Structure 1
């Protein structure tokens, strides 16, 4: 063999360098392994990671305020909420433009519902104002129609505001649609979206902005031609405000058609009868006279907010910062404490009841333990609702348990025990429901403990208690750990059983989460409460790992 061959790279059977061939084989092996676990990864992403991510996003998302009231939130940046005075007319005008568009899209009620979570009464304010916002500006609309009759025609507004290119595109689109109808062909091409004429927004900023939104809503939401629809009354309000501030020289910079329409209107606005927008809002609802309403809009104008998390710990966000909730609304810290206490109590009760049962099952003959194990599994074959309802029958004051206690003389008939619709009823019912989740891990671990260890301890002089405590019990700790984790995590998230038997003092934080999801529809607060509950569980899991060690947990 030549020197060149002896010093060259080692080759595989197919003539390729061995290192490259090995790398290719390893990549193929990793790809096959990835393909095998891909379904599980997709399942975890879809059913676990994605919902948790969405929950975390909802707990801080607040875009509805800035998206629905973009002009108002910008105008409120310069308002001092500590002044005790209402915002300026500019803010009221911005709110008018935002609200009329929101009312057309039916978004004002959703906005009112969102802000009502922070300040009671705002939902009603937005609903009532939304019904009347179309009238704001009618005074100016009538005066413009009298001074410049052309402004009463929708086509005139298109001439003043619309880009000539858009008008040509729209005419071509209408012609194509008409041709399709004549030939019976389907025509699903959307119309070209309205575009403003160059330069008009510089001279008439408010009117151009509001009219453009009117035209786009007319096209997108209603499927109408802006040239055939009369503008909103607030559009005339915006035109009045623009013409009051613009000089005649600016009007001269417009094209001939626009100048011919707007020059007479500009000359006439000085003699118009004006009206205060603040008075219109106060007529719609007196709540607009409260600075707290405006302060709430200002405080929640950003796209993201800590408000939901603050509310979850009995705090609230204000324009001045974080403050305590009113005393009658401080419930969540108490619910978290109650949930942790009762979950730990249920876990402890399951240990006390489940350990002897699991020990008995593990040490009885196989045939007998199998029969008893069926009794342990029997609750899984019964509806949760039936089991919970049965406890209501057993524990109520006229129920079976109270009747037996009265019959044997332990309880006076006039002083029957109250064991339902309180914490006791919740602990009893949930202990019964979750007990199998403690017994099964304990039984599976105890079954693997060799009985010879205990016999050997006794042969060396240990008493029954010493042999159990020093030899048997340490080996059963992994089963206790597994059972505790299962029972505690299941208990802390339960809401059906506490709802049925807990009354007002035995409900969990999960019941409040379910209420916000299904009844109040405050999904942001529900997501924040769920995120805090998840964080508490993870924290306790970490503490458990530090004290006991998760490696010592076993399901047998």
Structure 2
């Protein structure tokens, strides 16, 4: 091996060592991201369509229904009832009857009572015939509805949660139909969430642009001092900032007290527990995410561009619109993207300062996780929200280009 080949070999070995050191440095970060983000996200997506409660709890019943394969408008024959009795006895011994009853009740209200009543009494019956026994326990077993619900859940994977998240349902006859009118809530909530996010984004842009413009055209020392005021909200808790708006906007709060003292109003204005309060509080909290990208972009725009436009005969408005504003688009895009995506997932602020008709989709995701314990529906709602955000990001990348976005 000559000296050149030896040098090349040593360089390659050094390069490999450098790569290994780099991988070793980022390995802890990758592991942390995988454990704290990717695994929970994967679990959420899995729960949105993977639902083994009924197939694992009623294996004989599911198999008997598939073997019978009769019409959904008919009540199954005796072998299916016998299989159900065996499954219920085993479920009561293994304490699995209650989760199955809850799962059925998510699909058909009242199914839990029917299921648990049969599960409690089936142990006292040693042998059949089982069909008359179940019909005597509850006449609902003589109707095809409860059996249609079980058949809808016969597979461990299904789209029932997504249907429910879109205000649809699979009926006992297998057809997909809209939810009853008084149960159609989620589509309106998604639209409300998008509407609030758009309103907050526009408000942040309208307020943030002149502030960023002012900061960008001040002396460095003054701009840095004022920039601290922009960053100051990040030093306090989100909960504290939201609670402060409750104090400011309530009936006896600062705003209403001041307006009353000035004689501008005779009765307190409804400024909180409504859409106005939600938009005001969210705009205040998210405003720095608009100002910072705009400020970064504006600081990089040479003032000579506008002066050149003015020297060529453009009036101030034309110079601003046709020369200065187009160069601000990367900052505008970055700020709008940040604020809109963050607004879509807001939970604490609407929950504290909003009314019953102002809650966003994150509130209902938390409600299904914590109170209703319907994790599948919560996962489906979260998956739809995530899909919408990714679709928005893809469309944004196609129209604007992510490489043209500057976050500061």
User: Is the structural similarity TM-score above 0.5?
Assistant: yes
* Aligned match of 1:380: 234
Q: Decide which of 60, 83, 107 is 1:71's aligned counterpart.
A: 60
* Cα offset, 1:449, TM superposition: 2.2
Deviations 1:73-118 (A, max 9, x none): 11112253543x4322211110111111111111111111111111
Q: CA deviation at 1:435?
A: 0.7
- Displacement of 1:454 in angstroms is 2.6
Asked whether 1:543 is paired with 2:395, we answer: yes
**In the alignment, which residue of structure 2 is the partner of 1:525?**
377
2:221 counterpart of 1:367: yes
SS in 1 for 2:356: coil
Pick from 295, 305, 320 the counterpart of residue 148 of structure 2. Answer: 295
Q: What is the aligned partner in structure 1 of residue 194 from structure 2? A: 340
Match of 2:35 in 1: 46
1:491 matched to 2:356? The reply is: no
8 Å CA contact 2:148–2:174 kept in 1: the answer is: no
- Tell me what 2:364 maps to: 512
Q: Does 1:400 align with 2:254?
A: yes
Whether 2:89 is the aligned partner of 1:110: answer: no
Question: Aligned equivalents of 1:286 and 1:101: distance in 2?
Answer: 23
Matched, 1:449 2:304: no
Q: Which has the higher contact order (CA 8 A, sep 6+)?
A: 2
Could you list the per-position Cα deviations for residues 168-219 of structure 1 after superposition, in whole angstroms to 9, with x for gaps in the alignment?
Answer: xxxxxxxxxxxxxxxxxxxxxxxxxxxxxxxxxxxxxxxxxxxxxxxxxxxx
1:21 and 1:283 mapped to 2: Cα distance? 86
Q: Is 1:280 the counterpart of 2:270 in the alignment?
A: no
Alignment of 1:144-159 (within 5 A): none
Distance 1:369 1:534 in 2: 37
- The secondary structure found in structure 2 opposite 1:112 is helix
Indicate if the aligned counterparts of 1:438 and 1:483 stay in contact, CA closer than 8 A. yes
**If the length of structure 1 is used for normalisation, what is the TM-score?**
0.68
Distance in 2 (CA, whole Å) between partners of 1:19 and 1:278 is 83
Counterpart Cα distance in 2 of 1:365 and 1:27:
48
In structure 2, the partner of 1:358 is 212
Query: What is the rounded CA distance, in whole Å, between the counterparts of 2:162 and 2:339 in structure 1?
Result: 27
Q: Aligned runs of 1:68-217 on 2, under 5 Å?
A: 68-77=57-66, 78-83=68-73, 85-137=74-126
1:11-50 equivalent positions in 2, closer than 5 A? 11-12=1-2, 30-50=19-39
Structure 1 residues 392-471: aligned runs within 5 Å:
392-413=246-267, 416-471=268-323
Q: Tell me the distance in 1 between the aligned counterparts of 2:16 and 2:263.
A: 79
Equivalent position to 1:481, from 330, 333, 339: 333
CA-atom RMSD in angstroms: 2.5
Alpha-carbon distance, 1:394 to partner = 2.6
Deviation (angstroms), 1:125: 2.6
| Inter-partner Cα distance in structure 2 for 1:117 and 1:308 | 10
Q: What is the CA-CA distance between 1:396 and the residue it aligns to?
A: 3.0
Q: Kindly provide the CA deviation profile for residues 393-441 of structure 1, in whole angstroms up to 9, marking residues without a partner as x.
A: 332344332333344444342xx43232222211111001111111111
Distance 1:21 1:281 in 2: 81
The question of whether the paired residues in 2 share the 8 Å contact of 1:96 and 1:136 is answered with no
Could you tell me how far apart the structure 1 residues matched to 2:27 and 2:248 are?
50
Q: Shift of residue 19 of structure 1?
A: 9.3
Whose Rg is larger? 1
Q: Unaligned stretches of 5+ in structure 2?
A: none
Aligned equivalents of 1:86, 1:482: Cα separation in 2 = 59
Matches of 1:342 and 1:321 in 2, distance apart?
34
Q: Per-residue deviation at 1:283?
A: 4.4
Instruction: Determine the structure 2 residue equivalent to 1:315.
Output: 168
Structure 2 counterpart of 1:163? none
User: Cα gap change, 1:406/1:108 in structure 2, threshold over 3 Å: closer, same or farther?
Assistant: same
Cα distance in 1, alignment partners of residues 21 and 247 from structure 2: 57
In 2: Cα distance, 1:398 partner to 1:15 partner: 83
Decide which moves more: 461-470 or 520-529.
461-470
Name whichever of 475-484 and 124-133 sits farther off.
124-133
> 1 CA distance for matches of 2:2 and 2:41?
49
8 Å CA contact retained: 1:421, 1:505: no
Q: Give the Cα–Cα distance (whole angstroms) in 2 for the partners of residues 480 and 310 of structure 1.
A: 36
Call closer, same or farther: CA 1:76–1:393 in 2, change over 3 Å.
same
How far did 1:526 drift?
Answer: 0.9
SS of the aligned residue for 1:418 comes to coil
